[in-house]
A and B are shown apart, each in its own frame.
Chain A
Amino acid sequence: MRTFLSAVSLVLVCLVPGHTQQKLLSLAESAVHEKLQGSVAVLAKSTKTQGMAVLIDNGGFFLAHRLSIKSGATTATMPNGRSLVLRLVQQDEPSQMVLLKADDWSPSYGAPVKLAREAVQPGDRVLAILPSGIARAEIANTNLFGVISDNRRLIPLFEIRLEAPADQIGGAAVFTLEGNLIGIIGAALKQPDPYNTTSQQRVGFGNSGGVARARSGATELKGLNRFSKPFGPTALTVAYVAGQNIMERVVHGFASPTREVEHPTLGVFCRDSARGGALIDYITPNSPADKASLKVGDIIFELAGLPIRNQLDFAKAMMNQSVGQRVVVKVIRNKDLLNLTVTIGK
């Protein structure tokens, strides 16, 4: 029976015109793709596609990346051909996610997706739903952190390798093989300079051109440890989605009555202190830190019992706090030690 289904699937996939990658999907991957037909929509502005929106609520609320939204309202098309008008309801700066609501939505139009609850591991096969079709992908790293230039908040990232070298991957949705949402692609690794072997991007690459050129030199191959064994028949693109904890927080917040996402914050910006700890560089007026009398120049060396060796430790410690929680922050001010109690804000 399984062989018969595989044969039928193969024939169908080969006969139906579509994205090149779709012809290479396994039966399971095709099944997931089919399952998600009523849960995703392709965002478009005039004739150009901008990314994907994923249905997360029966009320017609879609999740998308900020990249895909250029104005307060946008048109979208579901794979079954249904056209939608999506309006911006809420946006979350730290994760760059936006919440959209479809006009005249009926629950019969589609079923909301579930977030991937199971722990995603490096090496797991996943699927990326692109505006141009579906692409096979793989989780490369789940232990990365990134900073977005405009809000300068630390965010955990998953690194994903996609077999989609020539496609627009910004705003694409990534799912497990069970059809659960992992995240939405916001960034791709910059294409390295293939002739500069000392480039810091030598360990990674952006798209097919980069891969082809990188493979042309033995010197380059030595630096491609993480990517030296591509699993697919085509070249790879390295992309990033927000980590599972952040996605859970975002979806939970967007699904709440207020539609707001609550990220724990003190309202400070820190940099590494030369002598260790996180040196406070700026304090947002009226923030929890301001109210707790933290000062610019204070060096945080412990937060909620966690040792703070540098600004990264501070940002990571903050991510694990809860809004409204009271924590003790230990700082060094001039030559004095201070224990300050701060209420975590949002």
Chain B
Amino acid sequence: MKHKHQDSIIRLAFGEHDSETEKRLLEAGVGDADSQKEFELVSLIREGLKKAGHDTPQCQMSIERVRDAILNQNIRETRNSATFWSWASVGVAACAFLYVLSNNRSSLPETRLVSNTEKTNFLQETPTMSDKQPDTQVVSAWQPSVLSGANVSAHKPKETTRKVADRPSLPAKWNDITSSIVKRTAETVARVATRSDATRNAHAVPFALSDASASIQNELFDSAVTGEQGEPIILINTDTDTDTGAQVATEVQSFENIPIGG
């Protein structure tokens, strides 16, 4: 606001306002005593510049340079604009890339719905060993303070339809660079954070660990995304096939959302 006012004073002193504005400002006064002093000072500078000689080119008499001199108490060094803008564009591009990358990662859901009908049926079966079955409803009731990623994502159907295969894959070189950084970070952190007691850890983990945790998560993410496709996995349903007398087995490429005990 102050700069705007100063700018107006400078423009007035240099006669760059239109006639109506100039007339209005001169009639109403430029403001308080300080503003008046400033106006007079700028007017003097303008006059001084005019009297400085004929060597001063007209373009150097521009309002921009005078204003910079007044506001910064110095005249800026002239930049090599070509070099500056080439580096700036590279920096902006890098920032934009990192921003897009981080956004894509952070928007991934913790769990995904299984689109395959058979996998859904597999999940919906009534378990026979109730004390060993992972039931998300039971979990939330049993420990309401801990809201797992699975429970959270259960209420976000749009997100849960995304799959691992839908994730944007990273360039190999980028993976190499990040993995080397991650490894170094993890090694450093491992030296610092060797604790065996969970309670102690929960209360006393150094703040810097958050960054290392993120690094390890990134490494895990990379390995999960680039993980090789192995043999199919066999889902064995306890229903007995009447033809073979054996349980019904089906092949799937991954379990994705089916919890496995261990």
Would you give the shortest CB distance from A263 to chain B, in whole angstroms? Answer: 9
| In the complex, number of A-B residue pairs with CB atoms less than 8 Å apart | 270
A18-31 CB mask vs B (1 if < 8 Å, else 0) is 00000000000000
Would you give the shortest CB distance from A172 to chain B, in whole angstroms? Answer: 8
Q: Do residues A146 and B249 form an inter-chain contact, with CB atoms below 8 A?
A: yes
Indicate whether A177 reaches chain B with its CB closer than 8 angstroms.
no
Q: Do residues A281 and B244 form an inter-chain contact, with CB atoms below 8 A?
A: no
How far is it, in angstroms, between the C-alpha of A187 and the C-alpha of B223 when the chains are bound? Answer: 33
How far is it, in angstroms, between the C-alpha of A190 and the C-alpha of B238 when the chains are bound? Answer: 12
Indicate whether B176 reaches chain A with its CB closer than 8 angstroms.
no
Indicate whether B209 reaches chain A with its CB closer than 8 angstroms.
yes
Partner pick for B217 among A152, A292, A311, A332, CB 8 A cutoff: A332
What's the tally of chain A residues with a CB closer than 8 Å to chain B?
Answer: 83
Q: Do residues B248 and A187 form an inter-chain contact, with CB atoms below 8 A?
A: yes
Interface segment out of the listed B24-32, B39-47, B64-72, B134-142:
B134-142
Whether A150 touches B128, Cβ cut-off 8 Å, given contacts A51-B245, A275-B221, A276-B219, is yes
Q: Do residues A147 and B213 form an inter-chain contact, with CB atoms below 8 A?
A: no
Q: Do residues A337 and B205 form an inter-chain contact, with CB atoms below 8 A?
A: yes
Whether A295 touches B146, Cβ cut-off 8 Å, given contacts A201-B250, A206-B243, is yes
Indicate whether A335 reaches chain B with its CB closer than 8 angstroms.
yes
B206-239 CB mask vs A (1 if < 8 Å, else 0) is 0001101110111111111001000111111110
B9-53 CB mask vs A (1 if < 8 Å, else 0) is 000000000000000000000000000000000000000000000
B contact residues around A235 at 8 Å (CB): none
How far is it, in angstroms, between the C-alpha of A188 and the C-alpha of B240 when the chains are bound? Answer: 9
Indicate whether A324 reaches chain B with its CB closer than 8 angstroms.
no
A77-93 CB mask vs B (1 if < 8 Å, else 0) is 00000000000000001
Q: Do residues B247 and A282 form an inter-chain contact, with CB atoms below 8 A?
A: no
How far is it, in angstroms, between the C-alpha of A316 and the C-alpha of B147 when the chains are bound? Answer: 27
How far is it, in angstroms, between the C-alpha of A101 and the C-alpha of B102 when the chains are bound? Answer: 62
Whether A187 touches B249, Cβ cut-off 8 Å, given contacts A274-B111, A275-B217, A333-B202, is yes
Would you give the shortest CB distance from A64 to chain B, in whole angstroms? Answer: 13
Would you give the shortest CB distance from B140 to chain A, in whole angstroms? Answer: 9
Whether A265 touches B241, Cβ cut-off 8 Å, given contacts A144-B234, A272-B224, is no
How far is it, in angstroms, between the C-alpha of A214 and the C-alpha of B133 when the chains are bound? Answer: 38
Q: Do residues A269 and B235 form an inter-chain contact, with CB atoms below 8 A?
A: no
Q: Do residues B212 and A337 form an inter-chain contact, with CB atoms below 8 A?
A: yes
Whether A153 touches B135, Cβ cut-off 8 Å, given contacts A67-B246, A147-B236, A338-B201, is no
Q: Do residues B224 and A187 form an inter-chain contact, with CB atoms below 8 A?
A: no
Q: Do residues B149 and A270 form an inter-chain contact, with CB atoms below 8 A?
A: no
B contact residues around A141 at 8 Å (CB): 231
What's the tally of chain B residues with a CB closer than 8 Å to chain A?
Answer: 82
Indicate whether B5 reaches chain A with its CB closer than 8 angstroms.
no
Partner pick for B129 among A50, A93, A312, CB 8 A cutoff: A93
B contact residues around A93 at 8 Å (CB): 129
A164-193 CB contacts (< 8 Å) to partner B: 167-171, 185-191
Chain B residue at smallest Cβ distance from A145: B233
B contact residues around A219 at 8 Å (CB): none
Chain B residue at smallest Cβ distance from A208: B243
Indicate whether B125 reaches chain A with its CB closer than 8 angstroms.
yes
A265-280 CB contacts (< 8 Å) to partner B: 265-266, 268-277, 279-280
Interface segment out of the listed B54-62, B81-89, B90-98, B190-198:
B190-198
Partner pick for A186 among B193, B246, B253, CB 8 A cutoff: B246
Can you identify 19 A-B contacts, CB atoms within 8 angstroms? A51-B245, A67-B240, A150-B238, A170-B244, A186-B236, A186-B247, A201-B251, A240-B234, A268-B262, A270-B262, A271-B111, A271-B255, A273-B110, A276-B224, A297-B148, A301-B216, A309-B223, A310-B224, A340-B198
Q: Identify 17 new A-B residue pairs, CB closer than 8 A, beyond the known A190-B250, A274-B108.
A: A141-B231, A146-B236, A185-B246, A190-B241, A200-B252, A206-B244, A269-B133, A272-B164, A274-B221, A279-B149, A281-B136, A282-B133, A282-B134, A310-B224, A337-B213, A339-B201, A340-B196
> Could you tell me which A residues sit within 8 Å of B by CB distance?
50-51, 67, 93, 141, 143-154, 157, 167-171, 185-191, 200-201, 203-204, 206-207, 237, 239-240, 265-266, 268-277, 279-282, 284, 292-297, 299, 301, 307, 309-312, 314-315, 318-319, 328, 332-333, 335-341
> Could you tell me which B residues sit within 8 Å of A by CB distance?
105, 108-112, 116, 122, 125, 127-129, 131-136, 138-139, 143, 146-150, 164, 189, 193-196, 198-199, 201-202, 205, 209-210, 212-214, 216-224, 227, 231-238, 240-241, 243-262
User: Shortest 3 CB-CB distances between A and B: which pairs?
Assistant: A276-B220, A282-B134, A293-B198
